Amino acid sequence: MSQGCPGAQVAVLSSQTARSLSQPEECGLRPKDMFRECANCPEMVVVPAGDVLMGSSARDIDSGLAAANEGPPNTGRSSSSRSPSGASRSHAISMRAFVKSSGYKPVDRCYTFEQNQPREREPRSFLNPGFAQDGNHPAVCVSWMDANAYVQWLSQNHQQALPAVVRSGVRVCRARRKPLALRLFSTMPPDLCKFVNGADRAAKAAGLPADAPYMNCSDGYPFTAPVGSLAANAFGLSDMIGNVWEWTKTVSPATMRPQARRAPPASRPAAPPGTVRGGDWFSNRDLAPPSVRAKANADAHHDDIGFRVARTLGP
Is 287 a residue whose pLDDT tops 50?
yes
Residue 57 lies in a domain: yes
Q: What is the pLDDT of residue 78?
A: 46
Confidence label for 241 from pLDDT (cuts 50, 70 and 90): confident
Residue 283 lies in a domain: yes
Mean pLDDT, range 256-278, rounded to an integer: 56
Instruction: Give per-residue pLDDT as tens, 196-233.
Output: 899 999 999 998 988 888 988 999 999 999 988 888 87
> What pLDDT is recorded for position 303?
97
Note whether residue 22 is domain-resident.
no
Report if residue 197 sits inside a domain. Answer: yes
Closest CA to 86 of 159, 136, 139, 23: 159
Question: Which of 138, 134, 107, 106 has its CA nearest to residue 42?
Answer: 138
pLDDT, position 282? 92
Domain assignment present for residue 2? The answer is no
CATH of the domain at 103: 3.90.1580.10
Instruction: Write the pLDDT tens digit of every residue in 289-298.
Output: 667 778 899 9
Asked whether the CA dihedral 206, 208, 211, 217 is positive or negative, the reply is negative
Distance (Å, rounded) from C-alpha 315 to C-alpha 212? Answer: 49
On average, the pLDDT of the chain sits at 74
Q: How do residues 119-145 score in pLDDT, each as one tens digit? A: 999 999 999 999 999 888 999 999 999
- Output the pLDDT for position 176: 38
Whether 10 is covered by a domain: the verdict is no
CB within 8 A of 175, min separation 6: which ones? 233, 234, 235, 237, 240
Q: Phi and psi dihedrals of 177, rounded to 5?
A: -125, 40
Q: How many domains does the chain have?
A: 1
**Amino acid present at 175:** A
Is residue 170 assigned to a domain?
Answer: yes
Domain assignment of residue 137, given as a range: 48-81+90-312
Q: Is 122 helix (H, G, I), strand (E, B) or coil?
A: coil
Question: How much is the average pLDDT of 235-241?
Answer: 82
Distance (Å, whole) CA 11 – CA 26: 7
